[in-house]
Structure 1
């Protein structure tokens, strides 16, 4: 990826947008990881790393991130029709009710938050309609704050990885040091994935996420649950 130059303001904006402290409820979702831990398929740092690497290479996060890029591009040129289209497209691409609901809930929370702290975003939210997917809301915010598109994409992927590693630390369980070590080890793949995603054409957006789908479906019938997905 080319060198990214950010002003202090842009840098702080992407930190805020990608922060785990952002009150969108991301901490309450494990994206099927809770099922995988209960079934013994993810049982330690190594197997968690394998799962996350597989998702970055082939999984639904690639599809979501590609749509986030398109939402950001559409918001930048105020193409409200494209924003609405990609929001519907992403909703239709969700393979389970829990995954779709998590995207909608986080998107709704982010849109509501942005409406309070940045009212100028409201016309974009109105164009998207309700419910809004999280990737769409993230793209709108990144465009409004004029964040470099590569930086926004890296922030989106890093935020996703941070959330799932935090879930893994709680579920397996792992130590905090192991979690930070894993996040550091994922950095090269996150960068490589961002390079691939940013160059995708519309017809190339795809994923192979049947493992995630099956894990998400089984979550509903788990005996005990800490997470909502």
Structure 2
């Protein structure tokens, strides 16, 4: 891989069309909309910003920081410690399964599109545990593409925002332009929120979003569902 191509290789896994199953999951958004809690662009944007503040940055992103730094130190015991934390700390069963399914698919895809990348540590872990989360695989790929920690975190948060917006486009009466406006407004929020916590010890990772967790858990009891989570 040419060093000046690393950004494009990374952008490839940020693409919303990446075939890892993200389009199948709303992570609780569908429940909010069916329950009448999110009805318009303003409420959708508030939901996304809340996710960034309460969960994406303070939990997933600090876990990514721990994974990234552990890979730097070649401490794979700690890499997979954070992977397990990411998994077990998700209350909703569907949300846990979604991250595991997407992690498995990204690992398989990486083997095909990055044939030169050493994925052996991830493969061995997956064979042993039969599971691996999406943030772990995403971080491992970004690290081996030469992407910095800040860009890895912000890229992961960006893909989550895009996934949520794309879900909303199928669930609500909003247009593509509206969706892009929400994404563009979320970018500085990601920047600011990550700046507030980036110096924290990764082991202090935390999340406080009980309402979002309850709505994610209630998704599997909906009478009709478009999404798997």
Deviation per CA, 1:10-36: give whole Å up to 9, x if none: 221221121112211111100100000
What's the TM-score once normalised by structure 2's chain length? 0.91
Q: SS of the counterpart of 1:226? A: coil
Structure 1 residue aligned with 2:11, among 11, 15, 31? 15
1:75–1:124: 8 Å Cα contact kept in structure 2?
no
Gaps of 5+ in 1: 1-6
What's the TM-score once normalised by structure 1's chain length? 0.91
Q: Distance in 1 between matches of 2:76 and 2:162?
A: 31
Instruction: Say whether 1:125 aligns with 2:133.
Output: no
Query: For residue 3 of structure 1, what is the aligned residue in structure 2?
Result: none
Q: SS of the counterpart of 1:87? A: helix
Alignment of 1:1-229 (within 5 A): 8-60=4-56, 62-119=58-115, 120-129=117-126, 130-229=130-229
Higher mean alpha-carbon deviation, 62-71 vs 89-98, is at 62-71
Task: Summarize the Cα distance change of 1:110–1:123 in structure 2 as closer, same or farther, 3 Å threshold.
Answer: same
Q: Distance in 2 between matches of 1:124 and 1:193?
A: 31
Gaps of 5+ in 2: none
The Cα of 1:116 is off from its aligned counterpart by: 2.5
Aligned residues between the structures: 223
Q: Distance in 2 between matches of 1:200 and 1:17?
A: 27
1:83–1:128: 8 Å Cα contact kept in structure 2?
no
The Cα of 1:61 is off from its aligned counterpart by: 5.5
Q: Distance in 2 between matches of 1:25 and 1:104?
A: 11
Deviation per CA, 1:184-204: give whole Å up to 9, x if none: 111210111222342221342
Q: Distance in 1 between matches of 2:165 and 2:78?
A: 33
